Structure 1
Amino acid sequence: MKILISEENFIHNINFLKKKYDRDILPVIKANGYGHDLKLIVSLLLKYKINQCVVARLSEALEILNSLSIPKDFKILILESISEENFKYILDYPQILSTANSIGDILKLLENKIPTTQIQIKIDLGFGRNGITTDEIPLLKEIISKENTKFSGIFSHLFSVPYKKGIELINIFENILNTLGKDRFSMIHLQNSLGISNYGTIPFTTHLRPGMFIYGFYEDGAYEKNLKKVFSLKGNVTAIKNIKNIDYLAYTPKEKLKTTSENIGFVKIGYGDGFLKSNEGSFVKIKDKFYKILLITMDNTFIEVDENINIGDEVEIYFDFDVTKKHLKINICEFLPILSSRIPRILGKN
């Protein structure tokens, strides 16, 4: 099995978003690049001189910095708060941008002489996750007014709210920005993929912060027809067995398989690879025809095949994200990132 990552489609998506919305792109590459491979995605960003990205955790940033040659002007925004004991990494790596998710965070960062050029401030507009609350803005203004330099950025998150409520939140954020001083921040960003889809270009922002969109997929409510799928999961039929005269297939009694097919094809992927057992009953694509998944074990998937299928034939799994979402009853963001490192990610054509 292998996951093919389309370089052409990936850079198309970023360039398309940048051109359509006239904003710089701050790509979100957390959770192993949404399952696409963190280091491979960063290598593409470097190749195309896209000099910034977003991760969730310090460990993700350190994986990038310790495994790739990252120039000092490449910036990695870490969304989660960094503990004081790990501030040494911010000082050691000018590429790291830390997030102040609370008044306590920003005070500790400044007390420890973290440069403001490595600090971004998150505002909580009511999402209830991270960020400085709106009633703390006077205190925040007092704190940052003492600094004589720009901060790296300020941002928030437009979560899933009705459109009119979203407009209210955008206006609240703009008022906060004006209170603090827009010229105090190099980056201003609000919109993930859903926010881009719902609100287009917000005049006072400098960047868009898409995750799903750069990989060419969508969740409910977020849609952009001109994006292209970056990911494809492909393997081969490694064996074909006739089960007419056997009692078991792997650990499962034959009578429990609920199949009338006598020929079963083997594919080297299983739940040990993060391919969920709940994919049983869904379909793979071989030679532009669909074949049912009968059984999934830790290391293998067994599919019903016919006389047209031969050993070595290419098998495409997750060929249609909408079909997979409907079968699994979970979002794309839930089943892509869990695909394990046992499946190599390589550049190729979808």
Structure 2
Amino acid sequence: MSRPPGGTTPRPVVPPAGARLGAVSLYPARAVVDLAAIRGNVRSLAAHAPSAQVMAVVKADAYGHGLVPSARAAVEGGATWLGAAQVAEALELRRAGVVGPRVLTWLYAPGAPLADAVAAVVDVSVAAAWALDEVVAAARVAHRTARVHLKVDTGLGRNGLTPGDLAALLPAVLRAQAEGAVEVVGVWSHLAFADEPAHPTVRAQAGVFADAVRTVEQAGLRPEVRHLANSAATLTDPSVHHDLVRPGIAVYGLSPVPQVGGPADFGLVPAMTFEAELATVKTVPAGQGLSYAHRYVTPQETVVGIVPVGYADGVPRHASGGQDGPGGPLRVGGRTLAVAGRVCMDQVVVDLGPGACEVAGDRVELFGTGADGGPTAQDWADAAGTIAYEIVTRVGARVPRVHVDTAAPSQGADRTQEVAR
């Protein structure tokens, strides 16, 4: 910054306190989330499990879709439960006024604010003896009976009580329930291979789970819900639906079993569209290396575009493109192209082709519904060697979430945008 005559350093222009900066207008990309799709997906999932209630899992900021707006849409679609892995997520739902559905939280370490959760009528999972002790203490502080779900490790080898630990803990559970500190309202577990419906572990875990439920009931407890099915099992295995199913990724319109069927095969619609604008468009000569390490070299004179999103925004670096294979797909001007060269922290390059007529500001779709032949989150997962879950949940926090409702009567064919964060 140069000094004006007189040697006075100019003062920077700062917006006044409280001024609202439009996140969408300031950032050249956005994740557009269609709440109508989330509602419709929950209805489809309920139809796949007609004998069970639906818990919409909204952990990880609703798989990157925005916690509170997505939760509300899921409830409007028929979900009577919400699943929030972290206690903070569950409390955020309650603070935002999401009070109608039951909310379950399950992943916490010693010292978590369980008294706040109990006071907010959040159901709490117990997966270890120390957890029961902390839930009982929390109930006493909150002066409210804690609603507890006993988590059983039926073979995933992750969080949960082994069947032996469950049996050993039940006397303490019964004492806590007799005291009025807890009420056991659920028994649950999680499948290791639900995305491979024919895998023998699915049946084996279902058997261990049935034994665990019998153990709990024979001890004199009468849980209101048993739940085992995630998205994949909700869509493919009615035998494990029990009283409650817990779909996660399917709520947001992505298939948990892409080898079996895509979203449309299960009546699902992807809710998120990740889009940006071209920042720079220019002609480069043949033999020009693009991006770091010149992994991609132009085979001819061509037009390239700079898309101002990168791995800091959630674009996987593993989806870089080069002579050894195309990068992640991009939709530009009705054409599906690919990332050319390394994915950078804040940008990627796309080879638009010789004579391309795109200009700065033109829309680029990284992924969306795929209805128009454009790329999907699954296409990016394939390009990066991962799963679609990771693609949507990794969209960075600096990317504004814009929630729209394509079913709202007042919007017609337009999409009224609401910035969630």
1:172 aligned onto 2:200:
no
Q: CA deviation at 1:323?
A: 2.5
Q: CA deviation at 1:246?
A: 11
2:192 to 159, 168, 173: 159
TM-score (norm 2): 0.73
Q: CA deviation at 1:186?
A: 2.4
The CA RMSD over aligned residues, in Å, is 2.9
One-letter code aligned to 1:231: M
Q: Cα distance 1:116–1:152, how it changes in 2: closer, same or farther (>3 A)?
A: farther
One-letter code aligned to 1:157: H
1:9 to 12, 17, 37: 37
Distance 1:13 1:7 in 2: 10
Q: CA deviation at 1:240?
A: 1.0
Aligned to 2:47: 19
TM-score (norm 1): 0.86
Q: Which structure is higher in RCO with an 8 Å CA cutoff and minimum separation 6? A: 1
Aligned to 1:228: 269
2:379 to 323, 326, 330: 323
Distance 2:357 2:66 in 1: 31
Q: Cα distance 1:3–1:262, how it changes in 2: closer, same or farther (>3 A)?
A: same
2:358 to 295, 301, 310: 310
CA contact (8 A) 2:87 2:117 kept: no
One-letter code aligned to 1:152: V
Distance 1:85 1:139 in 2: 24
Structure 1 unaligned regions, length at least 5: none
Q: 1:75-154 counterparts in 2 under 5 A?
A: 75-84=102-111, 86-94=113-121, 96-113=122-139, 115-146=144-175, 147-148=177-178, 150-154=183-187
Could you tell which deviates more after superposition, 110-119 or 153-162? 110-119
Structure exhibiting the larger radius of gyration computed from Cα positions: 2
Structure 2 unaligned regions, length at least 5: 1-28, 322-326, 368-374, 407-414, 416-421
Query: The residue matched to 2:131 in structure 1 has which SS?
Result: helix
Q: CA deviation at 1:247?
A: 7.6
Query: The residue matched to 1:334 in structure 2 has which SS?
Result: helix
Aligned to 2:333: 287
Deviations 1:187-227 (A, max 9, x none): 22101112224422436x21100111111212446646122
Distance 1:70 1:216 in 2: 22
1:217 to 234, 250, 254: 254
One-letter code aligned to 1:127: L
Percent identical pairs in the alignment equals 18
Aligned to 1:258: 297
Q: 1:27-46 counterparts in 2 under 5 A?
A: 27-46=56-75
2:284 to 233, 238, 243: 243
Query: The residue matched to 2:56 in structure 1 has which SS?
Result: coil
Deviations 1:233-275 (A, max 9, x none): 12222331122399886x647x664113431112221222121
Aligned residues: 344
CA contact (8 A) 1:81 1:99 kept: no
